[in-house]
Amino acid sequence: MRKLVALTLLGASLASVWQRFLAFRDKLNISQKEEPVEPQNCHLVEGIEYGSEDIDILPSGLAFISSGLKYPGMPNFAPDEPGKIFLMNLNEQNPRAQALKISDGFDQELFNPHGISTFIDKDYTVYLYVVNHPHMKSTVEIFKFEEQQRSLVHLKTIKHKLLKRVNDIVVLGPEQFYATRDHYFTSFFMSLIEMILDLRWCYVLFYSPREVKVVAKGFNSANGITVSPDQKYVYVADVMAKNIHVMKKHDNGDLTQLKVIQLDTLVDNLTVDPATGDILAGCHPNPLKLLFYNPEDPPGSEVLRIQNVLSEEPGVSTVYANNGSVLQGSSVASVYQGKMLIGTIFHKALYCEL
C-alpha cells in the first residue's frame, strides 16, 4: 500500500513537472513577428562587436555602453576578452564609439560588465555604476567619469550577501541604488530548472550605506530597472513573465506595486525617454534562438515604446524589429534628441536617427 501511495505521488509530481516544462516551452516559443520595423537612418556602430548589453545616456548626450558580457547560457564571441565601457557623443554628426580607459588598481582582466546606471552629483561630477561579474559573482563597481581624459577612475567595489545574480541597477544617490536579481541559483543548470519550475524567488534590492533590504519580491527573473524622470516611480522588467512592473517609490526606498504591463515578448533592459517619460524596452522576440544559438538562424531584435505608462491603458508600439539579419539579441534602447542607440547581449549596436 505504501509503495502504491509513493508511486502515485511520484507520478503526480512528475506530471506536474512535465506540465511546467510544457508551459515553459510555450513561453519561449514565440512566433517570429512578421513585419520588420526599421527607422530609415540606422547603421551599426563601428567597433562594437561583442555586445552592448546596457546603455545609459547623460542629459548632455554622452552615452555609456557596457560591452563584453559573459553570462551563463548566452552566446559570447570573445570569451577571453575582458569587458569594456564605450562612450559615444550623440551631439556629433557621426558619433563614434570609443573604449574608455580604466584607472590602474582595478582588475580589468576580470571585468564582466552587465547593467549600468549613471549618477550626477550636486557638484556635477558624473559617476558610472556598473554591475560586474568577476568569476561569475556579482559586485557593483563605482567609477568617476573624467570627460577630458576619456577615462573611468575606479572608486569602490560594493559586495553584499544579497547582491547575488544581479542583472541591472538604477542609482538614486551617492552609493544608493536599486538592483535586480535575475535568478535565485548561481549554476546555469539550476537556474534553468528554476525557470522551468516557474519559481518566483527573485527580487529588487534597495542598497544604501545605512540600509540594505529587499523591497519587491516574487519575480520569476527581475531584469531591467529604471526610474521615471520625476523619480516617483520605478519600472522593473520581469523577463520570463514578459511584463513590466510599475511601482511607487517611497522616501525610505520601499516600493508599492501599482500595476503590471503585460507584453508578449521577453523584456530585458528599460530606459525612459527624457522628453516624454515613455519607457523604451529592449526585448527578445525569439528566446529559444538565444538559448540555442545558430548563426544561420540567429535570434532577432525588438524595441517597444510604452506611452502613458501610468494611465489605464498604456500604448505599446514597436520602434524597431529585425529578424537577426542586422541586429541579434537586443537588450536595450535609449534615446536622445531624435537619436536612438540599440544595444545587444553579445552582438553589435545600432545607431538610428528617428
Residue 129 and residue 142: Cα distance in Å, rounded?
5
The catalytic residue among 43, 114, 133, 250 is 114
Closest contact distance (angstroms) between CB of 74 and Ca ion is 11
Spatial contact of 199 and 177, defined as CB atoms under 8 Å apart: no
Stretch that binds Ca ion, among 18-26, 37-45, 162-170, 214-222 (CB under 5 A): 162-170
Pick the closer one to Ca ion by CB: 15 or 201.
201
Question: Which is nearest to 52 in space by CA: 267, 304, 350, 318?
Answer: 350
Position 237, amino acid: A
Closest contact distance (angstroms) between CB of 200 and Ca ion is 18
Task: Return the exposure string of 226-258: e unless at least 16 CB atoms fall within 10 Å of the residue's CB, then b.
Answer: bbbeeeebbbbbbbbbbbbbbbebeeebebeee
In this chain, which of 168, 175, 273, 302 binds Ca ion, going by CB under 5 A?
A: 168
Spatial contact of 106 and 130, defined as CB atoms under 8 Å apart: no
Residue 280 and residue 105: Cα distance in Å, rounded?
36
Stretch that binds Ca ion, among 104-112, 168-176, 189-197, 211-219 (CB under 5 A): 168-176
Phi, then psi, of 265 in degrees rounded to 5: -150, 160
Pick the closer one to Ca ion by CB: 36 or 61.
61
Count of residues touching Ca ion (by CB under 5 A): 7
Pick the closer one to Ca ion by CB: 36 or 279.
279
Pick the closer one to Ca ion by CB: 167 or 243.
167
Closest contact distance (angstroms) between CB of 318 and Ca ion is 20
Pick the closer one to Ca ion by CB: 73 or 210.
73
3-state helix, strand, coil in the chain (%, to 5): 15, 45, 45
Q: Over the Cα atoms of the chain, what is R_g?
A: 20
Q: Is 344 in the site for Ca ion (CB under 5 A)?
A: no
Pick the closer one to Ca ion by CB: 268 or 273.
268
Stretch that binds Ca ion, among 29-37, 160-168, 200-208, 317-325 (CB under 5 A): 160-168
Query: Could you give the string, one character per residue 30-69, with x where binding to Ca ion holds by CB under 5 A and - elsewhere?
Result: ------------------------x---------------
- CB count, 10 Å around CB of 26? 9
Chain length of the chain: 354
* Contacts to Ca ion from residues 75-104, by CB under 5 A: none
* Contacts to Ca ion from residues 217-256, by CB under 5 A: 223
Closest contact distance (angstroms) between CB of 117 and Ca ion is 5
Q: Is 268 in the site for Ca ion (CB under 5 A)?
A: yes
Pairing verdict, β 243-249 and 139-146: unpaired
Place of cell 515613455: 278
Question: Which is nearest to 54 in space by CA: 340, 270, 327?
Answer: 270
Closest contact distance (angstroms) between CB of 231 and Ca ion is 15
Q: Is 269 in the site for Ca ion (CB under 5 A)?
A: yes
In this chain, which of 83, 115, 285, 324 binds Ca ion, going by CB under 5 A?
A: 115
Residue 285 and residue 329: Cα distance in Å, rounded?
8
- CB count, 10 Å around CB of 18? 10
Is there a catalytic annotation at residue 114? yes
Closest contact distance (angstroms) between CB of 273 and Ca ion is 15
Pick the closer one to Ca ion by CB: 261 or 332.
332
Residue 207 C-alpha cell reads as 542598497
Residue 344 and residue 332: Cα distance in Å, rounded?
7
Closest contact distance (angstroms) between CB of 223 and Ca ion is 5
Q: Is 175 in the site for Ca ion (CB under 5 A)?
A: no
**Contact positions vs Ca ion (CB under 5 A):** 54, 115, 167-168, 223, 268-269
Catalytic (active-site) positions: 114
